[in-house]
Amino acid sequence: MDDPKKYSKNNVQAIREALLLSKAELARRAGVSPLTIDRIEAGKDCRVDTKRKIILALGLKLSEKDKVFVEGGVDDNSRQAREAVQIALKNQRGT
């Protein structure tokens, strides 16, 4: 059975869907496999380098990592996801 410590809360799926990206497209942009994206969205842990690639592929800055990958299961996770989506959309439009 999987170790529960190997699961982490993140907003990757919410942000990806808000940007109308498929798992395959996000994987291509991040330089990882679609299976990796699937595992991360399911809550599995990943390496710091993979997190960095995904944050940048979503159009966010590394300083906004806490809006994508939440440490310790924060209660206001949906608020963080909305903020990250707004930032990513703004960055995508170039404003």
pLDDT, one tens digit per residue, over 5-43 is 455 689 999 999 999 999 999 999 999 999 999 999 999
Sign of CA dihedral 49, 41, 37, 6: positive
Contact between residue 14 and residue 4 where contact means Cβ atoms under 8 Å apart: no
Query: Residue 74: which CATH number?
Result: 1.10.260.40
pTM: 0.78
Distance separating alpha carbons of residues 79 and 85, to the nearest angstrom:
10
Confidence band of 80 (pLDDT split at 50, 70, 90): confident
Report the largest interatomic distance among the alpha carbons of the chain, rounded to a whole angstrom: 46
Does the structure show a pLDDT above 60 at 3?
no
pLDDT, one tens digit per residue, over 47-60 is 999 999 999 999 99
Domain of residue 19, residue span: 4-93
Q: How many domains does the chain have?
A: 1
Identify which of 45, 47, 38 has the alpha carbon closest to the alpha carbon of residue 4: 45
